[in-house]
Amino acid sequence: MKAEFVLDEGGALVSSTIPGLKAPLACIGVAEKGSVSVRLEARAVGGHSSAPPRHTSVGKIAAAVVALEQQPMPARLSPPVEAMLRYIAPELPMFPYRVAVANLWLFEPFLLRALGAEPATNASVRTSTAATMIGGGIKENVLPASAWAVVNYRILPGDTVADVVEHVRSVVRDPDVEVRALPRSREPTAVSPTNVPAFDLLAKTIRGTFPQAVVAPYLTIGGTDVRHYQKVSRNLYRFMPLLADSGDLARMHGTNERVSVQGYAKGVEFYARLLASL
């Protein structure tokens, strides 16, 4: 038995995130990025800080992290992001955005620069790099015997965990820094279709609840539970019926994360409409 579709969070109704798009964008996630955390570790003899080597283990790890931030994996348009651009193109100003989307063979570098200018859209066009943890040393006058850092990568469809680890090794290029992928990594998911009744039903329900919205497929940059249902259905979608601007997106999982009362009510309306349509 197969499900017609599975719906989870992951997409959203966003405003002021796409250059040139005035209407809210209803993003239906049709795929999600993979994830791998890479641990960097440098070991040294240690000793007293009065006679330090040129680079301590802390210095080596710091240099490795800076190098990884300065040399990210290359930007490109994956199939879900290219599909999103084609869906929203009719709502964009003719020049430069609509012309650019209609001629990706020529203007893709321009679009990648535009999308790469903001963190939220930059994450849609590359395997992202986020140094999230670092440690080393036990006292201010003792050379650290070891230091470490963890860098989290969210993997663009078309890249793999192995590609990320190889990229890290090629950028760090330090025999004193050990590089290894931590457990619980995951590859990007398959891309769900948009030319099926299930996607059309979601799009119709969104337009009925949010008449001003432009509906488009989307690459979910975080992780959701729907990836565990790939054996249940090939139509796996991600959408959260809450309007969010750039400020709301910045607060997710952070300080003062919130949903307005009016926004919550519209979310309930969306699910009521969807259930009534099944």
Domains of the chain are 6-33+188-277 (3.40.630.10), 34-181 (3.30.70.360)
DSSP letter string over 142-163? EE-SEEEEEEEEEEPBTB-HHH
Name the amino acid, one letter, at 88: I
- Cβ 129 vs Cβ 65: under 8 Å: no
Query: Which pLDDT belongs to residue 93?
Result: 84
pLDDT at 10 over 80: yes
User: Above 80 in pLDDT, residue 22?
Assistant: yes
pLDDT greater than 80 at residue 56: yes
Handedness of CA 9, 229, 150, 166 (dihedral sign): negative
pLDDT at 263: 87
| pLDDT digit string, tens, across residues 196-251 | 999 999 999 999 999 999 999 999 999 999 999 999 999 999 999 988 776 777 77
| Structure confidence at residue 46 as a pLDDT band (50, 70, 90) | confident
Q: Which helix (H) or strand (E) holds 114?
A: helix 104-115
The helix (run of H) or strand (run of E) holding residue 129 is strand 128-136
Enter the tokens of residue 266: 């519209």
* The predicted structure's pLDDT at residue 255: 86
Q: Using pLDDT thresholds of 50, 70 and 90, give the confidence band for residue 58.
A: very high
Averaged pLDDT for residues 122-139: 96
Average of pLDDT values for 48-61?
93
Chain mean pLDDT for the chain: 93
Quick one: CA dihedral 51, 173, 124, 97, positive or negative?
positive
Inform me whether the pLDDT recorded for 148 exceeds 80.
yes
